[in-house]
Chains A and B, each alone.
Chain A
Amino acid sequence: MKILVCIKQVLDDIPIRLDERNLWIEAEVSPIYRMNHFDEYALEEALRIRDTHADVTIDVLSVGPVRVSQTLKKGLEMGANEGIHILIEGEGYRSPFEIASLIAQYARCRSYDLILTGIMAEDDMQCQVGPLVAELLEYPCATAVISERLCRDEQAIYVEREIENGRRETLEITLPALITIQSGINRPRYPALSHVLRAKIQSLVVIAAGESTRSKPRDRIVRLTYPQASAKGIVLTGSPREKASEILRILHEKSLL
């Protein structure tokens, strides 16, 4: 069984500011990157499938500039068999449709039985790439998956989706299929030493996404802005002790304490 896990490299939670053209952001200090944590859950779920089924290989894939190789290596350290880097030039925003088109183009003739992605990326929270890839590949798709198991002799997958108000929806979809993974589905494992050592020497498969393969954008960023400072909030000032007394006084006045 061939599994593909699509991962995104995101900036760690460090101070950021708008770039000079207000069309993207830059880190205020040296940037630190890591794997989108929803994709960690997706990769862990793939690893659990491999742990419990025969003959499963896992490719981990990411679209991005050179720096993304570091996160793909982390994927290998967690235990993926192969790392695929779809290399694009430059920093800056790429829309979900562009990313999904590149992933679908790569995956199209490679007969993956199951593709997993995180439900969304932490930085832009669009929840799009997974279902877009599924539609482009004509795979049935289930999003917000909180539990899964293969069934019918690995011809289908049973999933539970998380919907509003703590409820779940259950369904079976035939393979090949794509599922997007909700956080909390599992606890991602620590990398095993054997995988860490292998990752150090294993090369990634690098595919340059040429300009000619760039799909026509369907939307564009007009600009980025900082949110307006709210007129609502009162900033407490003074020493921490003074602020503590002040908030207690305020809450007491409001009969909340």
Chain B
Amino acid sequence: MDKKIVVIAELFEGRIQPATPEVIAFARLLQGMDPRELHMIVAGQGVESAARELAFRSGFDVTALEGEGLDPYSAEAFKEALVPLLADRKPKYICLPHTARGCDLAPGLAVALDAACITAVEGLQEVEGSVTFLRSLFKGKVIMEVASETETTVLTVLPGAFRKMDHAAGREGDLEVLHTDCAPRRTKPLGPGAAGVEQLNLSEAEVIVSAGKGVGKEENLELIRQLAELFPKAAIGGSRLVCDLGWLGYQHQIGITGKTVSPRLYIACGISGAIQHVSGMQDSQCIVAINKDPHAAIFRVADYIIVDDLLTFIPLLIETCRLSQPSP
């Protein structure tokens, strides 16, 4: 594993999580700029068959790190099991998904391995022979290009930033099975909690009208509702911020920690376009964005850009629509 690119796979209840193929795609791009061998680690209990499947599908050599103490997941046990393996084998890059678990693990791994930690990577480029990683700042208004200064670098890869590739592996990867006794001593995982949020089937809506901070006050959500009513099979969505403020329940939240949707039409109202939200709706077939800030990052993913104050524009839109309906 010396100086290799290592992907740490994420499994949940034995199933490979969708973020993992995206990290694999990222690792291949990285290999294209900094040619070195690819490797994968799958840690947990009873992970050998998932590891075998990944070796077969991806062509990576895979290490299955088996241990009773690794199930259920705890950062403590995972770090204790992974660090000696990684310290011994000294990869150049360790790639995890930027998921709740990836973010839980990555910084601690970096400290233990004297590595740089670069999170929420959404792009990479080669500059004068070395790779720099791109990430967003200030709600998507600025891109930061970061280079590592250490021999090993831990990276977390933003979900939705890299499309999984259908890669004809060409070779079947080798599988190595290691066992570990690591068990958490200061952590006691207690299993899943009650689902926090009542389910709302946003993925069935053909049209989603979404509210962001620009809506201003809870009362203004009425405009969003009226706009949604113009369309058949429409639903209301919101950014996390609007849900945190209590204006909408979390079942309406769209984004990295909420739902990912791809309706026929997505109307983003007063949404800044920070990547945490955008990654949850960027695959919508048609995106209309209304925001009074001409530099809002949402306009980069929008098909139709309306720079206007939604508080005046939406009523106008509703009125214009109603006027053009034939009278009953």
Contacts and interface: CB of A to CB of B under 8 A. Distances in A.
A163 interface: yes
A143 interface: yes
B211 interface: no
Contacts of B264: 256
Interface in B159-214: 186-197, 199, 207, 213
Contact of A132 (B99, B107, B307): B107
B74 A236 contact: no
Contacts of A142: 75, 104, 187
Nearest to A126: B119
Contacts, number: 255
B142 A166 contact: no
B120 A127 contact: yes
Interface string A213-230: 000111111111111111
A179 B86 CA distance: 26
A247 B243 contact: no
B145 A247 contact: no
Interface string A172-216: 111001000011100100000000000000000000000000001
Contacts of B72: 169
Interface in A219-257: 219-230, 232-236, 240-241, 243-245, 247-248, 250-251, 254, 256-257
A143 B231 contact: no
Nearest to B159: A164
B127 A222 contact: yes
Given A135-B111, A166-B199, A243 B313 contact: yes
Interface string B64-88: 0000000011111000000000000
B21 to A, nearest CB: 15
Interface string A141-182: 111101100000000101011111011111111100100001
B107 A96 contact: yes
A42 B269 CA distance: 29
Contacts of B138: 11, 16, 25, 123
B88 to A, nearest CB: 19
B312 A168 contact: no
A217 B149 contact: yes
A144 B250 CA distance: 15
Q: Number of contact residues on B: which range applies?
A: 35 or more
Interface in A93-110: 96-97
Interface in B194-239: 194-197, 199, 207, 213, 230-231
B196 A166 contact: yes
B244 A183 contact: yes
Contacts of B76: 140
A167 to B, nearest CB: 6
Interface stretch (B1-9, B32-40, B45-53, B314-322): B314-322
A18 interface: yes
A124 B301 contact: no
Contacts of B258: 166
Contacts of A18: 142
A216 B191 CA distance: 39
A232 B306 contact: no
B246 interface: yes
Contacts of A97: 110, 116-117
A29 interface: no
Contacts of B73: 169
B103 interface: yes
Contacts of A15: 295
A153 to B, nearest CB: 15
A134 interface: yes
B136 A125 contact: yes
B314 to A, nearest CB: 9
A131 interface: yes
B187 A140 contact: yes
29 contacts: A16-B142, A37-B244, A96-B107, A123-B137, A142-B187, A143-B100, A143-B104, A144-B104, A160-B193, A161-B104, A166-B199, A166-B258, A170-B191, A170-B192, A171-B189, A216-B149, A217-B149, A221-B144, A222-B147, A224-B144, A226-B142, A227-B136, A227-B143, A233-B304, A234-B304, A234-B305, A247-B288, A247-B306, A256-B264
